[in-house]
Chain A
Amino acid sequence: MSRGRAIVFAGRDRIELVDISVPRVRPDEVLVETEITAISQGTDRVMVAGTYAGVNSRYPFVYGYSRVGRVLEAGADVSGVRASDRVFVGMAGTRLDPADGLGELGGAYTSHAVVHHADVVVLPDSVSSTTAAICALGAIAYQGVVTSNVRPRSRVLVAGLGAIGQFGALICRLRGAQVWAIDPVPERRALAGRIAGVETLAPDEDLAARIEETAWGNRPWRGRNDEPASRYERMRWEQAAGVVDVVIDATGRTDALDAYLPLVAREGCICLQGYYAAPLMLDFHAAHMKRVTIRCPGGMDLVDYESVLRLVAGAEVAALAGLEVLVDETPTVMRDLLLHPPSGVVSAIVRWRDA
């Protein structure tokens, strides 16, 4: 058994760098030496701050769900992955040595991964390691976009331009949707304009009016294109009116449903991509009148990951990693990044070793 290192979320506001054992590879596993791990700023923050529901009883644990590294060793039964392949390791995590006494919630913040071979994706040379790591966040956004019924010509509002929102906006645009993105921070809006190539608005603008002004093509709900047949129908249509088909909320604000329901047209969707620390309010009658769907995506799947990698190949998504943290600095620099995030940085990477 060899030795490795782990970035451990040791308790509230505490990040530690500790030595751990790396378990011996089983026949169906591969051993991966980590090059970089992506920091999922929003989730990492609530994990470290202790505000993620249920997390306080889990310290100390190894978090992280997005790493890129080189395969050092493949078990005897492994096919499709070979030593020296550069791979992405997803949410399936890593097998830790129980003797180290660490919990595992993803486990990507370790210098080595011992994982089932089906949980890795062999990366093409054309994809940089930073892009490959950051695309885990893209996979999360992708699942939200796909399952929220975003189609070509859909009108989509993306609220909150952290990494998930940035990817959500980009993926919606690449799928042929017309996208508006909102965030109070000008640097984040500028990033979305540059990377995702979408229109951005400050949240305090009159969103409905600005979207109507700049929208093209079909209105969100086709019923509105005809004359109402009766006073009752006119009233129903007015209640069902909205300027977009889909809202993707990546802010985590607990009034997201009430805030965005008026913007969604009948039969539209609100996708809850955030982490919601308190109960969400819902205007039940309005939701019923609009026949709305509330969609809660489920994290990251490797199939989504592979789709995203292809989809965003032409975009500069590596630039979403605004900061590179060297592993030895993590107890201070990563902690500061998470607890006192600089306004323009939406995500970052931890570098374990040079490529």
Chain B
Amino acid sequence: MKAVVVSQPSRVDLRDVPMPDPGPHQVRVRTLAGGLCGTDRHIVEGTFYRSDYPAILGHESIGEVVEAGDRVRHLKPGDLVLRTAAARPGERIGDVASMLGGFAEWGLATDVRAQEEDGAGPIAPYDRLQKVVPADFDPVDAGAFIVFKETLSALRQLGDVRGRRVLVVGTGPAGLAFVQAARLDGAAQVLVLGRREARLARARTLGADEAFVAPADRLADRVRELTDGQGLDVVIEAAGTVNVLEALPGCLARNGVVGVYGVSAAQSATFNWGWGLAVPRSWSLRFVEPDEAGIHDEALDLVSTGRQQLKSTLTHVLPFAEFAHAYDIMVDDDAGKVAIDFRDGVAER
């Protein structure tokens, strides 16, 4: 079967890899679609936290169950499953590692419930994310849905945003999803810091009160203007830009929190958080851990009732054969969510 393989940093190939074989608690799936993510860019460019090449890329995939292992009881052929992978992180298929393994024509998913019922060894954390979606779920929305679940749960780790002032840093698919999540959860004001007008316009369409560009040294002043001098209760960093972190505490109201969601290319940095007379004290900087599995049912409900429109951030769908082009589009600064369609005959939108 074909898979998207990062052979070495900055080199991506469509390569033949062995078909994965399901274990007794696993199903084999035919991959239907998958989303590209900023983290993929870090993996491709070799700036992710770890590197293990060659490796199959992709972690926002969706597959249809075609074949089930002997002990599988809670998944059946035809089910649509999220976060399928040809190999789990840390595992190999042939000589190829998994940089989460989703962009392959065939993949695996685990019947976690059956495995737990059988007491059959520890559950791999990634398997817990392999949730089923309804039959009418459009596979190209898988990436946007996974991002929505991550962002909604990450936002909630920073506290209840009802009536609070929120700044989202970043206008990529995750930044946009944070805007939507903050609106859904009742934030009083949602501001967005970005770099490019096309993306800022998208943020405004999705509910941002203000979407603006500001240099780091002017950011705190700009935020004070926009919040009637109050400052922000919650800031979420969703762009992976380390430099802006230095300026964010100065934008906060007392007891405000900065949540770090974005993956950064920089290994380390120094921060002058400006202890002294001019600095608002009592703030936190928190590296958030989304609980994607825990919020699945609620997120699905928000989507099925139309309160969250997954297509609102999707700008491109390309066939699997055009992966390289899709990657270039994702890296381009003006794109929203880019999806790969593994089914035949789907044209670019």
Binding site for B on A (CB under 8 A): 52-55, 58, 105, 143, 147, 226-235, 258, 267, 275-285, 287-299
Contacts and interface: CB of A to CB of B under 8 A. Distances in A.
Nearest to B122: A229
Interface string B271-309: 111111111111111111100000000000000000000
Nearest to A258: B268
Contacts of A226: 122
B119 interface: no
Given A229-B122, A229-B124, A233-B125, A288 B49 contact: yes
Given A284-B268, A298-B282, A233 B275 contact: no
By secondary structure, the B interface counts as loop
A290 B254 CA distance: 25
A282 B267 contact: no
A298 B255 contact: yes
Contacts of B276: 52-55
Nearest to B49: A285
Interface residues of B, number: 44
Interface of B: 49-50, 88-91, 98, 121-126, 242, 249, 254-255, 260, 263-264, 266-289
Contacts of A229: 121-125
Contacts of B255: 298
Top 8 closest A-B pairs, CB basis? A298-B282, A232-B90, A53-B276, A298-B281, A54-B277, A231-B90, A279-B272, A229-B122
Nearest to B100: A232
Contacts of B281: 296-299
A289 B285 CA distance: 14
Q: Which interface residue of B98, B254, B285, B287 has the most chain A CB atoms within 10 A? A: B287
Given A275-B275, A297-B281, A230 B124 contact: yes
A52 B275 CA distance: 8
Contacts of A288: 49, 260, 263-264, 287
Nearest to A227: B122
A232 B268 contact: no
Nearest to B89: A232
Contacts of B278: 53-54
A279 B89 contact: no
B268 A281 contact: yes
Contacts of B50: 235
A344 to B, nearest CB: 26
Contacts of A267: 289
